[in-house]
A and B are shown apart, each in its own frame.
Chain A
């Protein structure tokens, strides 16, 4: 409140400074700027804070309400934790690029949630893609380079769709406000949904996430997991709340990725699939559309940033220390990295929604809302997914990285800054999970009192999870559990990484063949005509017996004669 600056501005300045400073100064900037930004939000009045007149239009650059404020606090928190986690980066890690990109990316996310109209949202929407891709490219491998490009193309496309839909809506209704759109029968509404759906990783549009996030740097993926999809969730909550279709899309999102997560070997890709599962709960909550379910959706977004960040941090620490991230190549790290093991288990307990951990107090809101509003089948799907998430994220990640078969790799704990960052996230998960009424529930957008801690909720959730764990024990003991294998599983990306190129190459060679045939046919025809002309007009041809001028006079005379005949006998 004391500066009243637009939140993105502070982080943009911080991001630019982080790119040109070094050493202690840069470290100070990385830690102080998100704190200043967060303090700036405290006590911020609701309403429009900044407009910009450009070419006769008034753009609302900075507008505040309870929902944007919640995401504002969250993004500052995520930036602080992420910067702390990345504080050790040296120039060999492309530190300037990573720090700068991370802060500009966070700033873009803040710009998007405080945007007062769709044009401003579009600008920050595209900036999210342009800044975050450097956190993938900074890995410096051929795979990350290619994955980054695919990521960038898909996200720029999402932005172009957003702009198109905005212009169509402005043309039809004259409004560029960010308010309820819904599927109102108009074409532009579907384009909005497609644009948001790409960024929220809707089924069939999801593959950019599991493609790109595992290729990011050990520290960069922590930022990636925090911002992009949460901006999409925020946008959906603003524009498509209560849209029935989202209930079913969300339920599908919770269920299908967990099958992939069970057989995936790259543990950060497992987390990518589990992220889609968690976003599914949020999308479902938005679709249900009651005050409680939307509170649940945004509360779950808040918690997901912290517990998924913690899980990505623990895997980032493993990758940083050992250079490996595949389940098949790890195991037994609890001996070398006990603190990281503990951090991973707290993250796993939170995402699995154990009572006293953060996931419990938000996921249960969405699930309760589903059953209160009469979506019984959806509720059963969500319950299935809630058990499944414990299975792949709650057990598989810690088990194959830190326990399981001992890989024989020994190392030390990650650098102190990484441990501190994980420690902060651990404390937040437990505090929010244990005291939701005193923390997270205070900043929820709608007034819909909810109490997660009654005997029914606690007992049923604990039964669900413990017996899910029993299934894991049984599957391991009977040998049915599939071993971790160095492999790739075909997903939607196959269509644009294999089928697309095949089709393009196929069409290309077919076009070449057709082109060759047409060219040779035309050439034969031309040669034939030339030969015929040569026969008539050539040195010995009957029409070449006079000089060309004479020939012309002959033809002119002939056409005049024809004209005369037409004139006489018309």
Chain B
């Protein structure tokens, strides 16, 4: 993640502090041992397994004879690249929408 998760940019009108946590929760002990996913090696292992699954899934396109209902489906790995492109475009457009649509979270609370 390139953005600084500790200090996300503040939207004008946004509250600098999040709401207080409930009485059923508390802040972590500084001496707490790291969790499973705090270790970057574990994240990498998960990602390698994930990438391997991707390769297998595309390779299966060559093995399994798919039914073709739409002409585009005849393309090799159609659903793979369509899914990838759909999500990428979705996020890029949504991010641009923020320039027009985003206001402070108290936008409707003030006149």
Contact = CB atoms under 8 A, between A and B. Distances in A.
Interface stretch (A122-130, A180-188, A231-239, A326-334): A326-334
B60 interface: yes
B24 A320 contact: yes
Contacts of B5: 404-405, 483
B39 interface: no
B26 A479 contact: no
A490 B84 contact: no
Contact of A469 (B18, B25, B50): B50
Interface bracket on B? 35 or more
Contacts of A456: 64, 66-67
A410 B22 CA distance: 11
B35 A464 contact: no
B24 to A, nearest CB: 5
Interface string A450-490: 00001110011111111111111111101111111111111
Interface string B1-38: 11101101111001100111110111111001001111
A328 B35 CA distance: 20
Contact of B24 (A263, A376, A388, A412): A412
Contact of B102 (A263, A320, A391): A263
A368 B70 CA distance: 11
Main secondary structure of the interface of A (DSSP, over half): helix
Interface in B64-107: 64, 66-67, 69-70, 72-73, 77-88, 90-95, 97-98, 100-107
Contacts of B20: 323
A470 B64 contact: no
Contacts of A471: 83-88, 91
A379 interface: yes
Nearest to A143: B109
Interface string A321-364: 11110101100101110000000000000000000000000000
Interface in A367-385: 368, 371-372, 376, 379-380, 383-384
A498 interface: yes
B2 to A, nearest CB: 3
Contact of A488 (B69, B83, B103): B103
Contacts, number: 229
B94 A263 contact: yes
Given A322-B22, A384-B86, A463 B95 contact: no
B18 A324 contact: yes
A408 B28 CA distance: 5
Nearest to A478: B2
Contacts of B107: 488, 490
A409 interface: yes
Contacts of B91: 262, 391, 471, 475, 480-482
B82 A262 contact: no
B58 A463 contact: yes
A486 B11 contact: yes
A381 B38 CA distance: 38
A379 B35 contact: no
Contact of A483 (B9, B26, B90, B105): B9
Contact of B10 (A321, A332, A486, A488): A486
A258 interface: yes
Nearest to A454: B67
Interface in A142-195: 143
B36 to A, nearest CB: 8
B11 A328 contact: no
B90 A258 contact: yes
A418 to B, nearest CB: 12
10 contacts: A405-B5, A408-B28, A410-B25, A410-B29, A466-B80, A468-B86, A470-B54, A473-B47, A482-B91, A487-B14
Interface of A: 143, 258-260, 262-263, 265, 320-324, 326, 328-329, 332, 334-336, 368, 371-372, 376, 379-380, 383-384, 387-388, 390-391, 403-406, 408-412, 454-456, 459-476, 478-491, 493, 497-498, 501
